[in-house]
């Protein structure tokens, strides 16, 4: 028994297993799904340097650091796999720094458990496999919190605190809310003097971000006003997006708050979670910015609190049983996500849908189909620019060319503004075949079904529908000239 305990002690004393597991879960089926609009947009913004700088200053404040770094990364390769690999690298680095953070705040056992749970968490793996800035932001946030805590006893961490905090703000706007929670913690613990210079320096270097016109652009205009269901949904995502798993997570989270709130370490972690939520709710009265999926930035704090609660259970049978349930249910949920075989499940009479999906709009296969069944003399019509971008990313030299049918320019950076389709342009098309492509979000999220049907009506004046194919939320309609 003593030998086994020594082996277990050696295992949990290093982050090797959680880091290796993070690499496995992040790399598995990395290229299985098509890029979706946000990933394509990452490539589109990052590709050309002059356009990148213009976008960061004028329209794309959020994720600006990621776009700059991605610009240089794609010089080495531009496949779906390679572009997403950039996020995988930071996911693995996040788990390593997170382990160091947990070990410093608590002990190696809690660090091991929390890092293991992070590596298996579907919310985390989803963003590890996405060409967006979330894992970069998580890595910098964990590094910022770690240096924040170490700075109290070692002044050499001051530079790391300033650098990681500033970079995290440029990686994702929600990182600023986490930095606000650290500031609030220093006020509560009356240690503001210790950190005053550091936070002043952080604020100074964030001035370009705060003053940039892009921060007031239409980048987040698609986000609606927050509701109670959004707040509940936030904790549902943090707790695993799987009802049996979520129940265990939330009971441990509540238990940790009731029993250990007075502990300084737990207080900071709770502030890491609730201060960003409160700030985003308050700011949403001015402009809606509350988005549940963005709160992946507080997932490390949530898992540390849960892991600490598990560690405090003295009955070894219950301790091991609860930990086993967390791991097993996490694996089951992750397996559902990988396979994408089911979109919901039943718990008794309750029918529960999964929130996190692993199969969005299949632009890869849709574009491939149009390329194989179309000619260079055909045209492809899109109502919205973000569908056109996805098609252009996957098109080849043999693909039919897309045409722009918007009557006015778009607000770059997205948002809900979509100009009316140019019906006159459609009426004057002379091509033998036209491919009309529409994605789900145009009809649902942006409520543009009227414009969609106007495009169809204009096409049907001179063309006849001869073929319709669906590719996971992407409809492809082929028309022949009358």
| Rounded (5°) CA angle 39-51-55 | 70
| Together in a domain, 124 and 259 | yes
Strands, DSSP E only, in 17-113? none
454: pLDDT confidence band, cut at 50, 70 and 90? confident
Look at the alpha carbons of 61, 62, 64, 67 in this order and tell me if their dihedral is positive or negative. negative
**Listed range (41-45, 120-124, 237-241, 457-461) with the worst mean pLDDT:** 457-461
Nearest to 418 by CA among 440, 442, 396: 442
Q: Taking residues 294-302, what's their average pLDDT?
A: 97
Q: Which of 105-114, 130-139, 369-378, 433-442 has the lowest mean pLDDT?
A: 433-442
List the domain range (segments joined by +) for residue 464.
363-481
Q: Are residue 152 and residue 260 in the same domain, yes or no? A: yes
Judge whether residue 84 has pLDDT over 90: yes
Q: Indicate if the pLDDT at residue 348 is higher than 70.
A: no
Mean local confidence (pLDDT), 325-351: 83
Question: Same domain for 289 and 391?
Answer: no
Determine, yes or no, domain membership for 228. Answer: yes
pLDDT band at 55 (very low <50, low <70, confident <90, very high): confident
Give yes or no for residue 415 having a pLDDT over 60.
no
Most confident of 3-17, 185-199, 217-231: 185-199
Consecutive H or E run containing 419 = none
Mean pLDDT, residues 322-326 = 96
**412 pLDDT exceeds 60?**
no
**403 — pLDDT class (breaks 50, 70, 90):** confident
* Residue 124 included in any domain: yes
Are 373 and 347 within one domain? no
What is the band of 329 on the pLDDT scale with cuts at 50, 70, 90? very high
Shortest CA distance to 118 belongs to which of 319, 345, 326, 376? 326
Task: Please report the pLDDT score of residue 183 as a whole number.
Answer: 95
Residues 316 and 417 grouped into a single domain: no
Q: What is the pLDDT of residue 4?
A: 61
Q: Which of 353, 383, 404 marks a domain boundary?
A: 353
- Residue written as tokens 């503001």? 192
- Same domain for 284 and 399? no
**Which among 445, 448, 394, 391 has a CA at the least distance from the CA of 421?**
448
Is pLDDT of 157 > 60? Answer: yes
In a domain, 271, yes or no: yes
Of the three residues 308, 324, 353, the one that is the final residue of a domain is 353
358 falls within a domain: no
Q: Which of 44-53, 79-88, 108-117, 337-346 has the lowest mean pLDDT?
A: 337-346
Q: In this predicted structure, what is the pLDDT of residue 8?
A: 62
| Residue 270 within any structural domain of the chain | yes
Q: What count of other Cβ atoms lies within 10 Å of the Cβ of residue 216?
A: 10
Domain boundary among 289, 320, 353: 353
Residues 347 and 368 in one domain: no
Same domain, 367 and 260: no
Q: Which of 409 and 38 is assigned the larger pLDDT?
A: 38
Q: Which pLDDT score, from 0 to 100, does residue 416 have?
A: 56
Question: Does 388 reside within a domain?
Answer: yes
Q: Do 60 and 203 have their domain in common?
A: yes
Sheet bearing 474-481, strands edge to edge: 401-404, 379-382, 433-439, 474-481, 463-470
Most confident of the following: 288-302, 399-413, 437-451:
288-302
Same domain, 133 and 224: yes
Specify whether 153 is located in the same domain as 218. yes
Highest-pLDDT range among 128-132, 149-153, 410-414: 128-132
Question: How many domains does the chain fold into?
Answer: 2
Residue 456, pLDDT score: 83
Instruction: State the average pLDDT over residues 352-362.
Output: 81
My answer on whether 100 and 142 are in the same domain is yes
How far apart, in Å, are the Cα atoms of 320 and each of 4, 275, 282, 328, 429?
A: 16, 32, 41, 12, 68
pTM of the model: 0.92
Is 70 exceeded by the pLDDT of residue 362? yes
């Amino acid at each position: 028994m003593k030998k086994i305990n020594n082996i277990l002690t050696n295992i949990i004393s290093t982050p090797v297993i959680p880091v290796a597991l993070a690499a496995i879960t992040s790399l598995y089926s990395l290229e299985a799904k098509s890029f979706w609009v946000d990933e394509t947009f990452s490539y589109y913004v990052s590709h050309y340097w002059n356009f990148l700088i213009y976008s960061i200053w004028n329209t794309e404040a959020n994720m600006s650091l990621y776009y700059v770094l991605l610009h240089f990364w794609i010089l080495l390769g531009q496949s779906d796999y390679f572009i997403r690999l950039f996020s995988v690298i930071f996911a693995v680095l996040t788990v390593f720094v997170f382990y160091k953070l947990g070990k410093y705040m608590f002990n190696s056992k809690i660090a091991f458990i929390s890092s293991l749970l992070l590596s298996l968490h579907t919310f985390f793996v989803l963003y590890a496999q996405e060409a967006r800035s979330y894992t970069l932001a998580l890595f910098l946030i964990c590094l910022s919190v770690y240096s924040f805590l170490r700075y109290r006893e070692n002044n050499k961490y001051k530079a790391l605190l300033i650098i990681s905090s500033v970079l995290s703000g440029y990686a994702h706007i929600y990182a600023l809310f986490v930095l606000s929670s650290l500031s609030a913690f220093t006020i509560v613990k009356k240690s503001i003097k210790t950190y005053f210079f550091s936070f002043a320096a952080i604020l100074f270097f964030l001035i370009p971000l705060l003053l940039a016109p892009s921060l007031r652009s239409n980048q987040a205009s698609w986000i609606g006003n927050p509701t109670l269901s959004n707040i509940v949904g936030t904790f549902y995502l943090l707790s695993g997006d799987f009802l049996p798993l979520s129940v265990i997570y939330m009971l441990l989270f509540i238990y940790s708050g009731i029993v250990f709130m007075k502990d300084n370490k737990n207080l900071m972690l709770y502030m890491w979670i609730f201060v960003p939520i409160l700030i985003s709710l308050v700011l949403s009265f001015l402009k809606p910015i509350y988005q549940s999926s963005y709160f992946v930035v507080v997932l490390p704090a949530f898992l540390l609190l849960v892991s600490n609660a598990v560690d405090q259970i003295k009955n070894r049978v219950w301790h091991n049983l609860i930990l086993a349930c967390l791991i097993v249910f996490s694996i089951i949920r992750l397996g559902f996500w990988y396979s994408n075989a089911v979109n919901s499940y039943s718990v008794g009479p309750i029918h529960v849908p999964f929130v996190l999906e692993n199969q969005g709009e299949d632009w890869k296969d849709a574009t491939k189909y149009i390329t194989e069944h179309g000619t260079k003399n055909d045209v492809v019509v899109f109502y919205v620019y973000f569908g056109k971008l996805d098609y252009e990313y996957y098109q080849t030299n043999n693909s039919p060319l897309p045409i722009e049918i918007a009557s006015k320019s778009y607000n770059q950076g997205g948002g809900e503004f979509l100009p009316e389709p140019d019906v006159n342009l459609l009426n004057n098309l002379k091509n033998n075949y036209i491919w009309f492509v529409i994605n789900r979000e145009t009809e649902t999220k942006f409520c543009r079904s009227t414009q969609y049907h106007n495009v169809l009506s204009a096409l049907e004046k001179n063309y006849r529908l001869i073929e319709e194919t669906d590719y996971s939320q992407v409809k492809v309609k082929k028309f022949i000239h009358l």
